[in-house]
Chains A and B, each alone.
Chain A
Amino acid sequence: MVTSATPIDNAAAPPAGLRTFVQRLRDGDQIAHIITLVFAATILLITSLLVYELWINSGLSRSKFGLMFFWTRVWDPVSGDFGAAPFIYGTLVTAVVSLAIAVPLGLAAAIFLAELAPRRLSDGIAFLIDLLAAVPSVIYGLLGIFIVVPLMRTVVGPALKSTLGFLPLFKGPNYGVGFLTAGIVLAIMVVPFIISVSREVLLTVPREQREAALGLGATRWEATWKVVVPWARTGIMGSVFLALARALGETMAVTMVIGNDPKIATSLFAPGYTIAAVIANEFTEATGNLYLSALIELGLVLFLMTFILNGLARLLIVATERGGGRPS
C-alpha cells in the first residue's frame, strides 16, 4: 500500500502540470520536447523552403507570361515564347489513359482479392502486388522501351487501328511511342496502389452488409457490386486520387516512351510531352534565365496539381477508415 511516500527516485513526481518549468527542464522532458519539436518543425521549414524556391525562381517567367502561361501552346526557346498548355495536356492525358486502364483492372482485382479469394491466397497475392509497387520507375522505363514500345508498334497499334481506327483517338501514324504507350506504362505502375488500398478498404466493410444482401437473394456479384463497393466508395476514390497523383508526377518511365514532342494532338498514337518529362530533358540545358524560369514555373504547376490531389486523396481515405463510408 503506497501513499505519497518518499519515492525511490527523486524525479518521480505528481502530474506534469504541477511541476515547474525548471523542474521539467531538469527532468529532461522539456528538452526532449523542444528537440523533437525542432525536428518536426524542420519538415515545415523544408517544405516552405521548397515552395519559396519554386516561387522565387519562376518569378521571371510568371511576370512575363502571367496567366497566359497556362493557355499558350507554343514552347519556343528560340523566340523566348513559353507556354504550359502542351505539357499540362500531356500530363493529364497520360494520367487519364492510365487510370482508364488501371481503375477497372485494379478494382476488379481488388474485388477478387477481398471477396472471392481465400484469405491466405489473398494475403499472398497482396504481398506480391506490394512488391510491384516498389519497382523503381526507371526499370519500368527500361521495360517500356524494349517491350511495350515494340509491342505497341507491331501488335497493339495495328489491332486498335483496324478495329477503332475511325475514332479521332486512334488516327494518325503509329510510332510505338506516344500518349497511349505512356498511359499503358503508367497504368502498370499505378495499378498496385489501386489494388492495395481498395482491397484494404473493401475488407473493412462490415460482414453484415454482405450477409444482408445475400440474405435478400442477391447473387455474389450483386452483393459485391451494389452493396459492398458503394460502401467503400470514398476509400476507393481515395485510392484513385492517390494513383492519379503518382501518375502526374512520374518522370522517367514517361520520358522514355512518350516521344518528347510538345504538341497537343487528339490521337493517342501521337507523341507528346509531360511537365515532368520536359523538366528532366531540358533543365540542364536551359540557356537563358527566362527558359529556366519557365521550366521551374512548370515545376510549380506540377507541385500544385499533386498538392491538391494528394490532399483530396488523404481526406477520402481517412474518411472511409474512420466513418465507415455510409453511402450518402
Chain B
Amino acid sequence: MKKVVLMASLVLGLAAISGAQSGTALLNAAGATFPYPIYSKWFDVYHNAHPNVQINYQSIGSGGGIRQLLAGTVDFGASDGPMTDEQLAQSKVKILHFPTVLGAVVPTYNIAGVTGDLNFTQKALAGIYLGQITKWNDPEIAKANPGIKLPGEDIVVIHRSDGSGTSYIFTDFLAKASSDWKSKVGTNTSVNWPVGLGGKGNEGVSGLVKQTPDSIGYIELIYAVQNNIPYGKVQNAVGKFVKADLAGVTAAAAGSAKDMPDDFRVSITNAPGATAYPISSFTWLLIPAQIPDAVKKAVIKDFLKWMLVDGQNYNEGLSYAKLPKPVIAKETKAIDLIQ
C-alpha cells in the first residue's frame, strides 16, 4: 500500500513538473515537409526570442496539414500545394494563404559511378515517372548527357507515399511538361503513381534514395544539400538545363510577383525566362481568417510579421529563396485580414 502511494506521488510529481506555466502560449501546427527545415528553424528562433511561445510544428505532409486544419485539430497548417476551391469550401472559416519561402524541387538520384550533374529533359522526367522509360541508359536520358556513362540498370522510381505538396509541385510541372501525364495522372498532393516505391515525407524519399542504388526521387532542394545526395539539372520552358539554386528560383518567381492574386494561390512551375528553374514553388502557411483565441491570434499575427522581415534572413542559409518584395508588401497588408 505504501509502495503504491509512493509510486503514485512520484508520477504525479513528474506530471506536475511538465505542467503548464501560466502565460505560455502553445500552438499546434502541421503540414508540409518541403519547408520543414526552415520552419523548424524559424519556430526555434522565435521561441528563443519569445520563451513563453511554443509553436509545435509536425511535418506530416501538405495533405496532412490541410486535413488537420479542416478538422480543426491544429491552429494553422502548411502546404506547398495551394488548397483547391473544393477544399476551401469544406472549411467553416475562411482560410488565408500566406507564402513563406520559395523553394525548388530537385530530381535526386543514386547511381554508382555517376557523381556529376545529370541533365533531365522534360520528356525524360515525365517518361521515367510514367514508367515508360525504365533504364538509365535510355536514349532520352543519354542524349542529354553525352559525356556521362549511364548504366543499363533498371530505374528505381521513388515518389511520396503520403499526401504531399512536394508531389503537387512536381506533378504540376510534369503536367505542363507532358500532356500524357496530364491526362493519365494529373496534378494533386496524392496521385495514382504509375510506378515506384513510396517514401513518407521528404525525409522518407531522401532516405530511400540514399539507400537504394539506381534510384531517382524528387525532393526539396535543402534535403539533397543537407544529405549530400546528387541532384540533376532540369530543362526549363525555353529549353535550357538549369540546376536548382536561389537565383533560378528567384527568376522563376519574378513574373508572378507583379500579378500575384489576392489569395496568393499561384503556380510558378515551368516559368518563362532563360535562367528560371522550372520546378520552383511558393509554399504557404494556411491561417484561418477568424481565430477565436485572442492569445493565439496575437502570436500568429506577430509571427507572420516577424517571418516577413527577420525570418526571411534565414531562408538563403537553408537554400530557400526570399520572397519577392512586392509579395512581402502585399502579405503584410493581408495580415490585417486575420480577425
Contact = CB atoms under 8 A, between A and B. Distances in A.
Direct A–B contact present (CB less than 8 angstroms): yes
A252 to B, nearest CB: 12
Instruction: Classify the interface of chain A: helix, strand, loop or mixed.
Output: loop
Contact of B162 (A74, A281, A292): A281
Given A261-B193, A261-B197, A271-B198, A285 B64 contact: yes
Interface in A262-287: 271, 281-282, 284-287
B190 A77 contact: yes
Contacts of A288: 87, 90
A70 interface: no
Given A74-B192, A78-B192, A287 B197 contact: no
A66 to B, nearest CB: 21
Interface stretch (B4-12, B65-73, B252-260, B301-309): B65-73
B133 to A, nearest CB: 14
Given A175-B156, A287-B67, A260 B192 contact: no
Contact of B67 (A79, A175, A259, A284): A284
Given A78-B191, A150-B211, A260-B161, A287 B199 contact: no
Most chain A beta-carbon neighbours within 10 Å: one of B66, B70, B198: B198
A78 B186 contact: yes
B63 interface: yes
B283 interface: no
A222 interface: no
Nearest to B213: A153
A77 B163 contact: yes
Given A281-B162, A287-B87, A271 B60 contact: no
A176 B213 CA distance: 10
Contacts of B60: 284-285
Interface in A55-86: 74-79
B188 A77 contact: yes
B178 to A, nearest CB: 17
B200 interface: yes
Contacts of B211: 149-150, 176
Interface string B184-212: 00101111110011111000000010011
Interface in B259-311: none
Contacts of A285: 60-68, 162-163, 189-190
B68 to A, nearest CB: 7
Contacts of B208: 177
B192 A282 contact: no
Contact of A259 (B64, B190, B192, B198): B198
Contacts, number: 83
Nearest to B215: A175
Nearest to B153: A173
Contacts of B117: none
Contacts of B65: 285
B212 A281 contact: no
B312 to A, nearest CB: 28
A135 to B, nearest CB: 23
B212 A176 contact: yes
Interface residues of B, number: 34
Nearest to B66: A287
B316 interface: no
A74 B190 CA distance: 13
A236 to B, nearest CB: 37
B154 interface: yes
A282 B68 CA distance: 12
A259 B197 contact: yes
Nearest to B60: A284
A176 B110 CA distance: 14
A259 B207 CA distance: 12
Contact of B200 (A79, A173, A281): A281
A17 B70 CA distance: 60
Contacts of A286: 63, 67, 163
B217 to A, nearest CB: 12
A259 B268 CA distance: 31
A324 to B, nearest CB: 43
A284 B33 CA distance: 14
B129 to A, nearest CB: 13
Contacts of A260: 161, 197-200
Nearest to B186: A78
Nearest to B155: A173
B197 A175 contact: yes
A175 B213 CA distance: 8
Contacts of B197: 175, 177, 259-261, 271
B87 A76 contact: no
A280 B154 CA distance: 30
B28 to A, nearest CB: 13
B207 to A, nearest CB: 8
Contacts of B196: 261, 271
Contacts of B64: 284-285
22 contacts: A76-B191, A150-B211, A153-B213, A175-B212, A177-B197, A259-B198, A260-B197, A260-B198, A260-B199, A261-B198, A271-B197, A281-B162, A282-B162, A282-B163, A284-B67, A285-B63, A285-B67, A286-B63, A286-B67, A286-B163, A287-B163, A288-B87
Interface of B: 30, 60-68, 70, 87, 90, 154, 156, 161-163, 186, 188-193, 196-200, 208, 211-213
Interface of A: 74-79, 149-150, 153, 173, 175-177, 259-261, 271, 281-282, 284-288, 292
The 4 A-B residue pairs with the shortest CB-CB distance in the complex, in nearest-first order: A260-B198, A285-B64, A285-B63, A260-B161
Given A79-B192, A259-B197, 20 more contacts: A74-B192, A77-B163, A77-B191, A78-B188, A78-B192, A153-B212, A177-B197, A261-B196, A261-B197, A261-B198, A271-B196, A271-B197, A282-B63, A282-B163, A284-B68, A285-B60, A285-B64, A285-B65, A285-B163, A285-B190
